[in-house]
Amino acid sequence: MSLTIAIPKGRLGTQAIEIFKRAGLGECIDEKSRKLVFEDKKRNLKFILLKNSDVITYVENGVADIGISGKDMVMESGGDVFELYKMNIGKCKMSVAGIKGKKIFKDDTILKVATKFPETAKKYFRGRGQRIKTIKLNGSIELAPILGLSDVIVDLVETGNTLKANGLEVFEDMYQISAMIISNKISYKFKRKEIKEIIELIRREEENGKDN
């Protein structure tokens, strides 16, 4: 039975492809070419390269059986997929950050939160009992508190250098993020053995990678 695997383009995808290749999968993928579909005839696999935020859409709708997507995207989209395996790549934190030293907010005010992840932010702050207004941005989130658009930001933080360079600091870490292998729920029923086999190969490869 053939499997279709959705891989995100960009840095995460490059890392993922490397691991897949080391595990003996997707030899056929050539990132430098402009092609978006690659077939591994020997293993009966089809790889499709997508924008990272689209991976979950393709998987949820069953066009791809499995895919690689950041946990941040999975949480934000609320997509109905299985989150089968947490990979060792794409690791960072989703955090609340703001202007250094300005950590106190009156509890009767509505906190203005600028973020790429409004749904995740809403869910998180609901759990904390803090009322918020989300402001959806698509980039340069760090600017929002500096220019007075928002009180805080919710964003992915890897090293914290970007925050520091802009006079911001992390107030609170919300979630650990990493790349996940996700699967379409129905594909998993029909192709469970094949899917588990792929995950096992990736898992083993990552374990070996750790030792070296």
Where do contacts with other proteins occur on this chain (CB under 8 A)? 61-62, 81-86, 183-184, 186, 188-190, 192
Q: Exposed/middle/buried for 86, CB within 10 Å: 0-12, 13-18, 19+?
A: middle
Distance of alpha carbon 121 from alpha carbon 175, whole angstroms:
11
Distance of alpha carbon 110 from alpha carbon 31, whole angstroms:
46
Sequence length of the chain is 212
> Phi and psi of 3, rounded to 5°?
-120, 140
Q: How far is the CB of 127 from other proteins (least distance, A)?
A: 8
Nearer to other proteins, 63 or 143 (CB): 63
Q: How far is the CB of 66 from other proteins (least distance, A)?
A: 12
Nearer to other proteins, 150 or 183 (CB): 183
Nearer to other proteins, 9 or 86 (CB): 86
Q: How far is the CB of 146 from other proteins (least distance, A)?
A: 34
Starting at the earlier edge strand, list the strands of the sheet with 179-183: 37-40, 45-50, 3-8, 66-70, 179-183, 82-86
> Phi and psi of 88, rounded to 5°?
-90, 10
Nearer to other proteins, 110 or 186 (CB): 186
Q: How far is the CB of 191 from other proteins (least distance, A)?
A: 10
Closest CA to 66 of 78, 77, 50: 50
Q: How far is the CB of 23 from other proteins (least distance, A)?
A: 18
Nearer to other proteins, 14 or 61 (CB): 61
Q: State whether residue 166 is helix, strand or coil.
A: coil
